[in-house]
Chain A
Amino acid sequence: MTLALIAALPFLGALLPGLLIRAGRNACAAVTGSVTLLALVLLAMQAPAVLRGEVVTTRIEWLPSLGLNANFMLDGLGLLFAGLILGIGLLIILYARFYLAKSDPMGVFYTYLMLFQGAMVGIVLSDNILLLLIFWELTSLSSFLLIGYWKHLPEGRQGARMALAVTGGGGLALIAGMLILGNIAGSYDLSVILTQKEAIQASDWYLPALILILLGCFAKSAQFPFHFWLPHAMAAPTPVSAYLHSATMVKAGIFLMARLWPVLAGTPEWFWIVTTAGLITMVLGAKIAFFKDDLKALLAFSTVSHLGLITMLLGMGTAKAATVAVFHIINHATFKAALFMSAGIVDHEAHTRDLKRLGGLRHLMPVTFTIAGIAALSMAGIPPFNGFLSKELMLEEAAHTALGPAWLLPVLATVGALFSVAYSFRFLSHAFLGPKRDDYPHMPHDPGFGLWAAPGFLALLVVLIGVMPMTTAAWLVDVAAGAVTGAPVEVEIKHWHGLYAPALWMSLAAVGGGLAMLGAFVALRAMWDATPRPEAKAIFDGIIEPLAALARAVTQALHNGSLTRAVAIGTVAITAAGLWAFAGGAYSAGTRAMLPLSPVAVIGWGLLMVAVAGVVLVHRNRLMSLILIGIIGLIISLGFAWLSAPDLALTQITVEVVTVVFMLLALNFLPKETPRESTAFRRGRDALIAIGAGAGIGGLAYAIMTRDFAFPSISAYHLAQSKPGAGGTNAVNTIIVDFRGYDTFGEIIVLGIAALLIYALVEALLKPGSANDRLLAMPVRADIAGDRHPLLMVMATRFLLPVAMMIGVFLYFRGHNLPGGGFVAGLVFAIATVMQYMASGLGWTEARQRIEYHALIAAGVLVAAAAGVGSWLFGSPFLSSSYTYVNLWPLEQFELATAAIFDLGVFLCVLGAVLLALNSLSRMARRAGETVSADPYSVDRPEGGK
């Protein structure tokens, strides 16, 4: 369970910041940090087992029939990445607490950050590749939110969109690739896939799967030609850049390549694609980084370059190169996160990140300079820092790998290292060295401890790993590289490889060349500015814009804001699809025996047809059409009764009453006539569309009814189990409250939401505004009503109230065994109350209404939920019902079922929802000037009253 908990903790933690931000920014940051810390501690508790070489697993069946299970595993690679994600995540939370301005909504930031953290941890702990894909997409979504966190900046929004389009698009390719991979291996579990190397590499589908998976990885890890999105994502706040774009998200692609390394690597295809892409990215990124003036842009391209370096090492396909890649992942995460945070500090203090406006900060910000200096020297590969160690090992590997001509790869790797030295030193010298200036946008000084603690800690790691690699890092590299290569690894990291090691000379050339480049910066810069080069963003926009325009055009053509047009297009499309399907099949007449015509039924049918035709003909007279609707509903409920469906008949007739009353109340405010607007042509066209659809539906219904079931219906099961399984003889009711109780639970919630929505709409309409003005200006038309509360009706409804309620209770209790149940009972109660509204007036009834309708809805949902949760106490799944028989003198033996409690919830919810909806309309009526007598009705008044 622990692994699932580690992955779930950040998601749970994402709920807290929003709640805690009211308690202050410190509390919010502390709680968010402690959730991450807890996850880190849980991870550390698993570490000893992993370091012994074990693989910790947690297996939870989710959708086993699809091969989708919540299986988690933790091996060395997972431990390394989860440790990086949670550890650096903790530092970022600390850093962000002091970095974000007062005006930035911090709770939102931490929520996004935790969502992202959870998704990342999920990726690296997943054992099931389908689960991994879900987390993968979640990182794309949550990073979209983080990059666009400063919503007011257009760059932020554009950068977020671009990142989502590129990484999300790559994600789609990845899904396809992973599905192919799973199909070849015969399982979606990584632990199985990783044992299938021969089968996978021998398969015809190996190359498509490889290309699709690499597309996903390259897009995520900003490898050429997808490298362009990463610099644009730098519009994000610096904590985000430091977290997502140095340590974690961009490493997700690297992680996946390392994860699948045992089964995908080692083939010529893998070697050529991955090594080439990595090499190009490394050199290209490093070159561009050198010429960037924005500190974060420089770091962004340098990240691109270093990711290319790691990719190239993974591409070489040898265990040694993969080990170096793992080591460099650790080193890069430490120094690059520290550098981003330092850049953020400079930006925070000097109010600019432009290298042309900086310089001389060494004197003003000694602490920041020290941290940035250590990290930048490490990035340049200068001893004794950790970047030097992995770069030496990388050059050593490059020297022994041939990509085409034997000299090509070593030379290009050296060129990459040379640029790397150049931009690292440029970062340092142009920002921190040189004379102090007097034209900073804001006079900088070192920040408080809170802001530099996190990068300071990382700089300390840079030094420790650099000086004592064997004690501080080698053990972690061993288990992680062992997990990547699938064989035990014992790495030996040395500072000195001897005079005959090619890496030494390549390194020296890189440092010398890099310094020379920096010296010639002004001349090189002029050359760079003079050469035309493709602008990635322009190309990207050039591809995206026409697509967006096309999408807009299609949407506009289909849905231009005209409801009638959308309905017409939809109806015609559905009818055409039905016709097309019908024309393609062989139709033969049904064989089921038809019912004989019964005279009464034919009369009812005739009435229905007259009413339907009447609605169409007189629909402009709204009151008349409403009356006709009532007739239609009545006949339909009679039809249900005749066709052996008493439950439906009861529900239909009660709903009909409530609906007509509701629409009558609404019609009170609306115009009573619909003007004739459409042309004769248009009416003809509409009639044609409508008749076509009606003929289709009618024909389909006829075809169904004249045939027997094509497959045995599951109804037989419900009928057979109704009594022994659910303890009721009314199969319809047992389906609603028992077999399909979960659906019903959802439905009463929907009904409750609908009622609350109506309440909220009325609230909004009654606020000062044009709607309220119109209501107030509505003429009170007392003349129509005549006697507003006829004495006979008042007395009759008051007499009927208890009777109606008794009927409701009766229907509720017998529902399980005989027609009735919570739905109908709720409606009967509602009608009984509505009668009081109509007869005695709104005020009189409301004054006597003790229970809030909102509370009724809430009680209904809670009671139903309690009935469902109650079954947990007996160790059964949610909403399993049980029943027992009770003998209670002097009653007959009767049965008590937990389903009855659930049905009570249904009853309360229906009652509350219907009454809240009607009551909302009555509130509008009162605003419109409907006079209200809250006093007792005149007949109740004592003699001589007012």
Chain B
Amino acid sequence: MEALIAIAIGSLTAAGIYLMLRLRTFPVIIGLTMLSYAVNVFIFAAGRLVPGLPAIISPDAAGYTDPLPQALVLTAIVISFGMTAVIVLMALGAWLEAGHDKVDMDDADQEASK
């Protein structure tokens, strides 16, 4: 099972980075979202995989899952929503301001920024 999870993390990362290397804003955002999934699952997996254990502390539990990565990932999920929302809005603003949704500066932009 570990191998499958590792492959899933790797595929999400690869797909995310490939999309982040595209030239328009929307695929870049989708790519970033996928990279966030990959990172979250990666951190979660660092607590090792244990199915079927209780998440709640009780006297008769045989063992527990690692709560620390879970707590980290939980907040990371919420924060990544905030981050995604901000860049979506920035992409939207750029599209409305400039009339195109390219992520790279062209030569004219570079001249203007100097």
Contact indicator A662/B74 (Cβ below 8 Å): no
Q: Is A561 in contact with chain B by the CB < 8 A criterion?
A: yes
A541 → chain B closest CB, angstroms: 21
Contact with B along A484-511 (1 / 0, CB 8 A): 0000000000000000000000000000
Contact indicator A731/B30 (Cβ below 8 Å): no
Contact with B along A759-777 (1 / 0, CB 8 A): 0011011000111001100
Q: Which chain B residues border A736 with CB–CB below 8 Å?
A: 71, 74-75
Contact indicator B71/A740 (Cβ below 8 Å): yes
Q: Is A646 in contact with chain B by the CB < 8 A criterion?
A: yes
B106 → chain A closest CB, angstroms: 9
Contact with B along A598-623 (1 / 0, CB 8 A): 10011001001100110110011010
Contact with A along B57-78 (1 / 0, CB 8 A): 1100000111110110111011
Q: In the bound complex, how far is the Cα of B97 from the Cα of A769, in angstroms?
A: 8
Q: In the bound complex, how far is the Cα of B4 from the Cα of A629, in angstroms?
A: 19
Contact indicator B37/A699 (Cβ below 8 Å): no
Q: In the bound complex, how far is the Cα of B52 from the Cα of A802, in angstroms?
A: 33
Q: In the bound complex, how far is the Cα of B30 from the Cα of A12, in angstroms?
A: 46
Q: Which residues, 681 to 739 on A, are CB-close (under 8 Å) to B? A: 686-687, 689-691, 693-702, 704-706, 708-709, 713-715, 718-719, 722-723, 729-732, 735-736
Dominant SS at the A interface? helix
Q: In the bound complex, how far is the Cα of B91 from the Cα of A689, in angstroms?
A: 24
Q: Is A457 in contact with chain B by the CB < 8 A criterion?
A: no
Q: Which chain B residues border A701 with CB–CB below 8 Å?
A: 5-6, 9-10, 42, 45
Q: Is A594 in contact with chain B by the CB < 8 A criterion?
A: yes
Question: Which residue in chain B gives the minimum CB-CB distance to A759?
Answer: B89
Q: Which chain B residues border A819 with CB–CB below 8 Å?
A: 55-56
Q: In the bound complex, how far is the Cα of B114 from the Cα of A552, in angstroms?
A: 11
Question: Which residue in chain B gives the minimum CB-CB distance to A821?
Answer: B74
Q: In the bound complex, how far is the Cα of B79 from the Cα of A736, in angstroms?
A: 14
Contact indicator A669/B95 (Cβ below 8 Å): yes
B26 → chain A closest CB, angstroms: 5
Contact indicator B8/A643 (Cβ below 8 Å): no
Q: Is A592 in contact with chain B by the CB < 8 A criterion?
A: yes
A624 → chain B closest CB, angstroms: 11
Q: In the bound complex, how far is the Cα of B47 from the Cα of A94, in angstroms?
A: 63
Contact indicator A595/B37 (Cβ below 8 Å): no
Q: Which chain B residues border A669 with CB–CB below 8 Å?
A: 92, 95-96
Contact with A along B9-53 (1 / 0, CB 8 A): 111111111111111111111100110011011101111111111
Binds B, one of A25-33, A63-71, A445-453, A750-758: A750-758
Contact with B along A794-833 (1 / 0, CB 8 A): 0000000000000000000000011100010001000000
Contact indicator A678/B67 (Cβ below 8 Å): no
Contact indicator B99/A774 (Cβ below 8 Å): yes
Q: Which chain B residues border A652 with CB–CB below 8 Å?
A: 77
Out of A565, A645, A770, name the residue touching B55 (CB < 8 Å).
A645
Question: Which residue in chain B gives the minimum CB-CB distance to A761?
Answer: B89
Q: In the bound complex, how far is the Cα of B38 from the Cα of A696, in angstroms?
A: 12
Q: How large is the interface on B (under 10, 10 to 19, 20 to 34, 35 or more residues)?
A: 35 or more
- The winner among B89, B93, B104 for most chain A CB atoms within 10 A is B89
Q: Is A370 in contact with chain B by the CB < 8 A criterion?
A: no
Contact indicator B49/A643 (Cβ below 8 Å): yes
Q: Which chain A residues border B5 with CB–CB below 8 Å?
A: 605, 639, 701, 705
Q: In the bound complex, how far is the Cα of B57 from the Cα of A697, in angstroms?
A: 33
Q: In the bound complex, how far is the Cα of B52 from the Cα of A644, in angstroms?
A: 6
Contact indicator A674/B78 (Cβ below 8 Å): no
Contact indicator B82/A705 (Cβ below 8 Å): no
Q: Is A120 in contact with chain B by the CB < 8 A criterion?
A: no
Contact indicator A646/B55 (Cβ below 8 Å): yes
B5 → chain A closest CB, angstroms: 7
Question: Which residue in chain A gives the minimum CB-CB distance to B41?
Answer: A636
Contact indicator B23/A564 (Cβ below 8 Å): yes
B22 → chain A closest CB, angstroms: 7
B78 → chain A closest CB, angstroms: 5
Question: Which residue in chain A gives the minimum CB-CB distance to B23?
Answer: A677
- The winner among A563, A639, A644 for most chain B CB atoms within 10 A is A644
Contact indicator B110/A560 (Cβ below 8 Å): yes
Known: A562-B105, A644-B50, A701-B45. A754 touches B83 (CB 8 A): yes
Known: A640-B44, A670-B95, A771-B97. A689 touches B3 (CB 8 A): no
B98 → chain A closest CB, angstroms: 8
Give 15 A-B contacts (CB < 8 Å), ordered by A residue.
A561-B113, A563-B103, A594-B3, A598-B51, A615-B30, A632-B37, A651-B77, A659-B84, A669-B96, A674-B27, A686-B22, A690-B14, A706-B2, A758-B89, A765-B92
- Taking A644-B53, A700-B42 as known contacts, 4 extra A-B pairs with beta carbons closer than 8 A to each other, sorted by chain A number, are A678-B23, A715-B47, A731-B57, A823-B74
Interface residues of A (CB under 8 A from B): 560-565, 567-568, 571, 592, 594-598, 601-602, 605, 608-609, 612-613, 615-616, 619-620, 622, 625-626, 629, 632-633, 636, 639-640, 642-648, 651-652, 655, 658-659, 662-663, 666-667, 669-671, 674-675, 677-678, 686-687, 689-691, 693-702, 704-706, 708-709, 713-715, 718-719, 722-723, 729-732, 735-736, 740, 743-744, 747, 750-751, 754-755, 757-758, 761-762, 764-765, 769-771, 774-775, 817-819, 823, 827, 910, 913-914, 917, 920-921, 924
Q: Which 10 A-B pairs have the closest CB atoms?
A: A698-B10, A694-B14, A561-B105, A754-B82, A702-B6, A771-B96, A595-B1, A731-B67, A690-B18, A735-B71
Interface residues of B (CB under 8 A from A): 1-30, 33-34, 37-38, 40-42, 44-58, 64-68, 70-71, 73-75, 77-86, 88-93, 95-97, 99, 101, 103-105, 109-110, 113
